[in-house]
Structure 1
Amino acid sequence: MVQEFHTVGVVGLGAMGAGIVEVFARAGFAVTAVEIDEPALKRGRGHLERSLARAVSKGKLTEEEQWAVLDRVRLSTVREELRDADFVVEAVPERIDIKREVFADLDRICAPGTILATNTSSLSITEIAALTSRPGKVVGLHFFNPAPVMKLVEVVGTVVTDPATIDIATEVAKRIGKTPVAVADRAGFVANALLVPYLNHAIEVYERKLASREEIDAALTGDAGLPMGPLTLLDLVGLDVCLAVMDVLWDEFRAPRYAAAPLLRRMVAAGLLGRKSGRGFYTYGADARNPAEALPAGPLAVPVRERAHGFGLADLLLVRHIDDALRMVGDGYASADDVDTAMRLGCGYPKGPIELLEERGADALADALGGMANAHLVPAYDPAPLLAHLLRAGGADLRAPKDRTTGP
C-alpha cells in the first residue's frame, strides 16, 4: 500500500452510494456515510441493510459478519463528520451543480492530504477537480452497479492528478476486492464509451425496422452469448442514463456514431425510461400497452439474417462495437487487455471485444464493415486506423507491449 489509512467517507447513499459503503465496510474500513437529510439517510440505511440481508440469505455472509459490517458504518447528515476521513468517495446524482457544491464543501472540510474520489460515470473529472484547491488529490473511482457484486472499478486520472494518487486509488480498489482499470479522463472512460454506443446502435436498428425488439435481443443472447439483449439492457440501465452518456460522448468527439438515436431522445422526452418508469422498450408492471408498439411490428423489412449478404443481427451490432474497441486501443487510451477486462467485468460479456476480433480475424471484420456499409445497413465511415494496420501487417499481437504515445 502506497499510503496506509483506515477511515473512508462516502457522500450520497442512493443504491450506488450504499453499495460503495458496503464494499468498503466489508473490506474492514471504518466508513462515515453522509446524506442530505434524515429521509435520504433512512433510505440509504434501507439499501445497505437489504443488501447485507441478501448476502446472508445466499450464504455469502454470516449473521455475525453482517452485524460487524454494520458496526463499521456511521451514518450522518453532517458533512463535517468527514473531517478525519483519509479517503472520500462522492456518489451523488450525475449533475455538475450538485457535485460542484459537494466538492467545494469537501475541500473545505477535509485535511489537505485527503484524497477526494468521484464515482461519476459521465462528467469530466478534470472539471470536478478544478473545483478544489487540491486537483492533484482528485481521482475518478467509477464503480459498477450493483457495487457489492460487480468486480470492475475504473480508476480515472486527469492531466493534473498526482501519480501517487492514482497508485493509492488503484491499491484501494484491489484492497476492497475489485479489479482496477486505470485510464485517463475521457468521455465514457472505457466501459460506457463502448457499451452505450452499441446500445444506441441497437435502437437505430429497431427504429429502421430491420428487426423486431425480440429478434434483436434474442440474436445477442443466443448468437453472441451476451447475458442480456441490448433493448432489455437499455430498459434496465435507464434510457435517460444512456441518453446522458451519448450526449457527453457527442459533446467531446462530435462524431456521427455518437449521435443519439432520434427514438431514444423521443422516448426519454415522453418519460419512457425503462424499468424505473414501468415502460420502455418493454412494459413492466400493470400497464397494458408497450410504448414500443408505437412502431408497427410488421411488416418489417426483410430480417438482416435473411439478406443475401449473409449478415446476422449479432454481426450487425457487434462488428461496429469491435471497431470502436479497436479505435480505443489504437488511440493508446486503453490496452487490449484493459478493454476486454472492462467489458467482461463491468458489462458481463463472456468475451471482450478484442477477444472477439482475435477469433474472427481482421480480414473478416473489415469485410463485414465494408459489406454492411455497401448494403446501407450501417453508415459508411472510416474504420479504426488500427484495423487498417492489422490488415497491412497480416495480423498482429494486440496484447504485445508497445509505446502508447506513437499509435499503431
Structure 2
Amino acid sequence: MQEIQERSQAQELLIREEARARHEHDVAETLQRSLLPDRLPDVPGIELAARYVAATTDVQVGGDWYDVVQLPGGLVGLAVGDVAGHGLQAAATMVQVRVALRAYALQDPTPAAVMRGVHQLVARLPGPEMVTLVYLVFDPASGELRWTNAGHPPALVIHDGAGSPLSGALTPPVGVTPNGSFAEGKTHLPPGATLLLYTDGLVERRGVSLLDGIDQLGREAAAVPTEDGLESLCDRLLHTFLDDTRITDDVAVLAMRAAPSVEGRLEVRLPAEARNLVHVRSALRRWLQDAGVPEEQTNEALVACGEACANVVQHAYSGSPDAGDLLVEARLDDESLQLWVHDDGEWRRAAERGGGWGLQLMHALMDDVEVEHTATGTTVHLCRRVTRDAPPDPAPSPAAPPLAAAPPERPPVSASDEASDE
C-alpha cells in the first residue's frame, strides 16, 4: 500500500511538472511572438507572407526574427536574423537588433550602411553576442534588389520552376569581428519571382548537409504553383520540413513576390494614410512608364492623382478613428488615360474643410475631372489624352503592381460648388 501510494504521488508530481513545462513554453512562445511584427505592410506591386514557429523542445525564448520596413522613396527593406542561443538574453538582443535595423534603415537604407550600424551596436553589447542576419532592399518601381549577408543562410529567388540562392555579399556574422566591413550585392527580381528568407531551423538537420537542406528548400518552393499564393507556400514549406511533434529550433520564414504586369489596367488599394501616398505614386509611375507614356505626361498625371489621393487622406475619414481604404484604379485605352480615386468615407461640408486648390490643379492638368458623391463614399474620375512611345526594353523586367479588371463605367457627374473645395 505504501509503494502504491508513493507511485501515485510521483505520478501526480510528474503530471504537475509537465503542466508547468507546457505553461512555461506557452508563455515563452507568446513573448517571442509579441516581439515580432504584428502585421506586414501593404505595398503596391508586391505580396508578402511570414511565419514564426517556436521550438517545442525548449521552454526558453529563442532569437529568430523577421521584419519588413517601408522606406523613403517607396523602397522596401526586408530582414531575417538569428541571435545565437536561447533565453531572455537572446530575446533582449533580438529586440535591440531589430529596432536598431529599423532606425539605421530609415537614415540610410543601403544594405552595407545598415549592417555597419547593426554591427557597431552588437559589438558594444555586454557579453559575447553573435547575430546572423540577411538584409535586403527592394525597389518595386524598378525591380532592383540589393542585399548583404552576415553569416546567414542565403535568400532564395524562386522563378521559372527553380530556386537559386543569392550568393555573394557574404561576411561573418555581426559582432564577431573588431571592424565590420560589409559587401553589397545587386540584381533585378523578375516579375512574378518569389524571394524567400528563412532561418536555419527550417533546413538544418542532424547528419544532413546544410547545403543539401537549402537545395531541397529551393526545389520544394519551386514546386508550389504561383497561383496558390505566398500563404500556401509558407504553409507547405513548414509542413514539409518540420516535424509536428518535435521542433528542435525556432523557425522564421519571410516570403515576398513581385507581382507580374498585366497590360492596360492597374489597381492599388491601401489604407488611407499619408505614408502610403509615396507607394501609390511609385506604382502608378512605373505602370505608366511601362506603357510608354512620356515623362511629362506621366508627371502631370501623377500630380493630379496625388492631389485626389491627398484629399482622401485628409478629409474622407476625418470623423473616423481608423483610416479606411484608398483605392486607385487606372486604365489605358489607346490614347486615353483614365484614373479613379475612390474612398468609403463620409466627407465634411465644404465650408468646414477649407482649401479648394486641389481640384483647380486637377482641372489644369487633366482634360476632364468628375466628382461623384454617394452614400458609400466619393469617387474622383480623372481623364486625359496621352501619347504612347515604344515601351522600354523589358529585360530585365521590373516588378509591377497587381492589376484587376477595369472599373465599371460611371455616369458623368459635374463638379459641384461643394466639390470645388476637395
TM-score, normalised via structure 2 length: 0.30
Higher relative contact order (CA 8 A, sep 6+): 2
Considering fraction of residues, name the structure with more strand.
2
Q: Which structure is higher in helix share? A: 1
Decide which structure has the larger Cα Rg and report it: 2
